[in-house]
Amino acid sequence: MIFGYHLLSVVIWLPIVFGLLVLATGNDRNAKLARTIALVGAILGFLVTIPLVTGFDRMTSAMQFVVYRDWIVRFNIHYHLGVDGISVLFILLNSFFTPLVVIAGWKVIEKRVAQYMAAFLIMSGLVNGVFAALDAMLFYVFWEAMLIPMFIIIGVWGGPNRVYAAVKFFLYTLLGSLLMLVALLYLYQQSGGSFSIIDFHHTALPSLSIQVMLFFAFFMAFSVKVPMFPVHTWLPDAHVEAPTGGSVVLAAIMLKVGAYGFIRFSMPILPDASHYLAPMMIALSLIAVVYIGLVALTQADMKKLVAYSSISHMGFVTLGFFIFNAYGMEGALLQMISHGFVAGALFLCIGVLYDRVHSRQIVDYGGVANKMPVFAAFFMLFAMANSGLPGTSGFVGEFMVIMGAVKANFWYAFAAASTLIFGAAYTLWMYKRVIFGAVANDHVAHLHDIGAREILVFVVLAVSVLVMGLYPLPFADIMHTSVNDLLVHLATPKVLN
């Protein structure tokens, strides 16, 4: 416990301070310095999260590493931080990805390097804040603030249609957030003047219709971020236009924030509405799994394909939440972490190809394995993980969610299991067209294999995918108590009779 009481504050603010330092290096003449400071900041940012795990008490579902200070006294808003077995994993995941993103953008980003690196570091800190906040307004501030760096990242370093994608991303998310703000204000009134999320969990909301309205307000905020069908359309646009680092953070981190919102707000605060609307949520999740899976099959653009695959995989997550049993819930959480590794890795793979050929179209490739054997091997592993091959992390979560779904209703499980076929189909078909076969054209013929910097990133991710696939127990272990507590909350109706 180096930082003791302030550990979570350090986890949030250290990347932000480093981000500002990077920003201070100014223009591109100091690009090298900016990159170095960014890397140091990102690695330190990851290192300070390690005590969160080593000092974590697995036996309790109470919040740990709590920081509690007055912030805005007038509205009883506090600087209140803390983690449970669920949020601690996501803070770790987020901090783990920041150095990878910095390394991935090391050479590729040549213009406005300092601003690029700073945006990622600042966002990393803000996302940690979202996961650690226990005061609803603090949560909201972090939640909204993280839009700003992402907006800039997509808009400045993105592809040709970046402006459209950035604005669409921002407005879509803002719409949801603003309705959530109204819901939070209402809860503030109902809870007798408290913004504490823990208090919200115990706030009586006896009328089902009010719970349903609040549920929809939260739903707008979280489903857009997840994203769930039918509000998913911003994601393919944002992914395609974002630079590689932006896509990685979007897929690995941003989508998790939405799902986390369901666990932290919608389900424990509104248990009755959650049960009442579960059929709708399950239906939307299954549509995402099946229909979006089919949509992914037809994509000609690799990034779009992985984007649709993300939506489909996130459908698994929301399905796991709303079947209300331990298998489903833990499976969904494992799926979130696994999807972070796998989708992040796949976007990095596509980034490697894009940096060399400057095309994301599948037809522009073919026979890459002949020129880039090492890369092809890594890509293979991640593609397999994306299709849910046993032994990779992708399998664990999907398998557990399907098990949970069988308990709830056989047909849910049946529909969900179709992803094992569709997922394999679209991922491996893309892989085949890009990697195998004869060398397709001159661009491919001139490809050179990945260097040490890229191999380092892929090795780290490959190890994570395999470790989580072969030995997921530590992950499940840390979240177990908190998940049980959440299920107890969900089983306690607030509406009497």
Partner 1 sequence: MTLLSSLSPAYAEIFLLVMLSVILIVDLFIVSYTKTLTYLMVQLTLLGCSLITVATHQNGIAHLFNHMFVDDLMSDVLKLLTYLSVSMMLVYSRSYLLARGLFTGEFLGLVLFATLGMMVMISACNFLSLYLGLELLALSLYAMVALQRDSATSTEAAMKYFILGAMASGFLLYGMSMLYGATGSLDVNHIAQVILHGAPNKELLVFGLAFIVAGLAFKLGAVPFHMWVPDVYHGAPTAMTMFIGSAPKLAAFAFVMRILVEALQPLMIHWSGMLTILAVLSMAVGNITAIAQTNLKRMLAYSTIAHMGFMLVGILSGTIEGYGSSMFYAVVYVLMSLGGFGMIMLLSREGFEADNLNDFKGLNQRSPWLAFMMLLLMFSMAGVPPTVGFYAKFSVLNAAVQTGHITLVVMAVLFSLVGAFYYLRIVKLMYFDAPESHEKINLQPDSSLLISINGLAVLALGILPGTLMSVCAVSVQQSLLH
Give me the residues that bind partner 1 (CB under 8 A), please.
26-27, 71-75, 112, 115, 137, 140-141, 144-145, 147-148, 151-152, 155-156, 162-163, 166-167, 170-171, 174-175, 178-179, 181-182, 185-186, 188-189
Minimum distance from CB of 26 to partner 1 (Å)? 8
Closest to 225 (Cα-Cα) out of 154, 111, 295, 314: 314
SS3 state of residue 366: coil
Q: For partner 1, which is the closer residue by CB, 151 or 375?
A: 151
Q: How far is the CB of 33 from partner 1 (least distance, A)?
A: 16
Which H or E run includes 25?
none
92 versus 137: smaller Cβ distance to partner 1: 137
Minimum CB–partner distance for residue 177 and partner 1 (Å): 9
Nearer to partner 1, 126 or 342 (CB): 126
Pick 122 or 302: Cβ nearer partner 1: 122
370: helix, strand or coil: helix
Residue 69 or 358: which CB sits closer to partner 1?
A: 69
Contacts of 346 (CB under 8 A, 6+ apart): 306, 309, 382, 383, 386
How many Å apart are CA 335 and CA 468, to the nearest integer?
10
CB 131 within 8 A of CB 102: no
> What's the closest the beta carbon of residue 250 comes to partner 1, in angstroms?
18
- Smallest gap from Cβ 116 to partner 1, in A, equals 12
Q: How many other β-carbons are positioned within 10 Å of the β-carbon of residue 182?
A: 12
Residue in 260, 202, 248 with CA at minimum distance from that of residue 479: 260
* Residue 465, strand partner residues: none
Among 351, 251, 231, smallest CA distance to 292 is for 231
Judged by beta carbon, residue 75 or residue 411, the one nearer partner 1 is 75
C-beta closer to partner 1: residue 33 or 175: 175
427 and 302 in contact (C-beta within 8 Å)? no
Q: Which two tokens stand for residue 159?
A: 């592809």
Q: What is the spatial distance between Cα 371 and Cα 356, in angstroms, rounded to a whole number?
A: 12
Cβ 145 to partner 1 shortest distance, Å: 5
Q: Is 196 helix (H, G, I), strand (E, B) or coil?
A: strand
What does DSSP assign to residue 135?
Answer: B
Least CB distance to partner 1 at residue 123 (A): 13
CB of 148 to partner 1, least distance (A): 6
Which C-beta is closer to partner 1: that of 112 or that of 489? 112
Query: Which amino acid type is present at position 135?
Result: D
Longest dimension (CA), the chain: 71
Instruction: Determine how β-strand 77-83 pairs with β-strand 64-72.
Output: antiparallel
Within 105-135, residue ranges assigned H as helices are 113-132
- Specify the residue, 68 or 429, whose C-beta has the smaller distance to partner 1: 68
Are 194 and 262 within 8 A, CB to CB? no
CB of 371 to partner 1, least distance (A): 35
Q: Is 192 exposed, middle or buried (0-12, 13-18, 19+ CB in 10 A)?
A: exposed
The half-sphere exposure of 496 on its side-chain side, counting CA atoms within 13 A, is: 1
Shortest distance (Å) from residue 295 CB to partner 1: 28
DSSP at 438:
S
Cβ–Cβ under 8 Å, residues 235 and 198: no
First to last CA, the chain: 48
Choice between 134 and 323, CB closer to partner 1: 134
Phi first, then psi: give them for residue 219, nearest 5 degrees. -55, -45
Task: Please report how close the Cβ of residue 12 comes to partner 1 at its closest, in angstroms.
Answer: 12
Question: What does residue 436 show for φ and ψ, rounded to 5 degrees?
Answer: -90, 180
Cβ atoms 293, 46 nearer than 8 A: no
Question: From the CB of 31, what's the least distance to partner 1, in Å?
Answer: 14
| Nearest approach, Cβ of residue 149 and partner 1 (Å) | 11
- Residue in 118, 134, 65, 122 with CA at minimum distance from that of residue 94: 122
Cα–Cα dist 431/317, whole Å: 25
